[in-house]
Amino acid sequence: MPELPEVEVVRQSLHKKINKKKVKKVIIRNRNLRFQIPLNFSSFFKNKTIINVDRFSKYLIFYLSNNSCCLLHLGMSGTVHLVSNNKKDIITNTSFYNSPILPKKHNHVEIFFDNLKMIYNDPRRFGFFQIFKNPVLLKKRLAYLGPEPFHSDFNLSYVLSFFKKKEKNIKNFLLDQNFVSGIGNIYASEILFLSKIKPAKKACLLQKKECLQIILNSKKILLRSIKKGGSSIRDFKDTSGKVGSFQTDFKVYGREGNLCKRYKCNGIIKKKIISNRSTFFCDLCQK
């Protein structure tokens, strides 16, 4: 599943291509995604202009010219493709964990503009669209989510208060979208490595300086990944065909049995299953 950096790369790609463009037509080929696509979905978009492509956490948000908005979550296998009317596209995929070539069998939604169309493709159909008459309703929909790592609300006072008397381990907290939004399994392991904290450590046992490291390193890791185009675990590419390269920076994720990359550390990278998720850490320098 794409995490915050990969969704942000998708957002940037889409914003460049469809922002300020007017929707001419919408075709729904299959309404049965995680949530059924509303019957009024086509009329909701038709003749509206995309005035902004935004993101919150792992959600894409399309703001329309009549003050309405649409939420898109890519689920496990959802991909967004941009196909030009004027030329045969070799690279169409703006999304994550899939082939850059459009697999037409699972095209569920097509949104047409003057010179291109946006296609949502999802073999497993865990992704979904939701539409809202105004941003206030959208805000209510997302109210259960915690702050993003980049937001000023994700600060030391907030983290210390949240962790007080909490027995749950810190790895699970980083994956808890009620605590902080957008961090997934890959980046949780990398953040904890940079912070020198063992994933299984109870949140209530973290010192103030450790909490501060988690805050700072969450921002640092995610920003670095966005700058490098995300993590291309398989064939993720943006609309220009550029492959994300943050996977070359991985210090622990997927490196089980290898030597730790931290300077002067002779530890070995271990793999442990925490809440059914593969977790990677150094057995020596993470305490």
Please identify every residue annotated as catalytic.
2-3, 58, 277
Residue 144's CB is within 10 A of a number of other CB atoms, namely 9
Cβ distance 52 to 73 under 8 Å? no
Of 99, 94, 97, the residue nearest 55 (C-alpha): 94
Cβ distance 108 to 33 under 8 Å? yes
Bridge partners (DSSP) listed for residue 151? none
Of 241, 242, 244, the residue nearest 222 (C-alpha): 244
Q: Fill in the amino acid letter for 20.
A: K
**What residues have CB less than 8 Å from 128, skipping those under 6 apart?**
33, 34, 35, 72, 73, 75
Of 101, 74, 65, the residue nearest 2 (C-alpha): 74
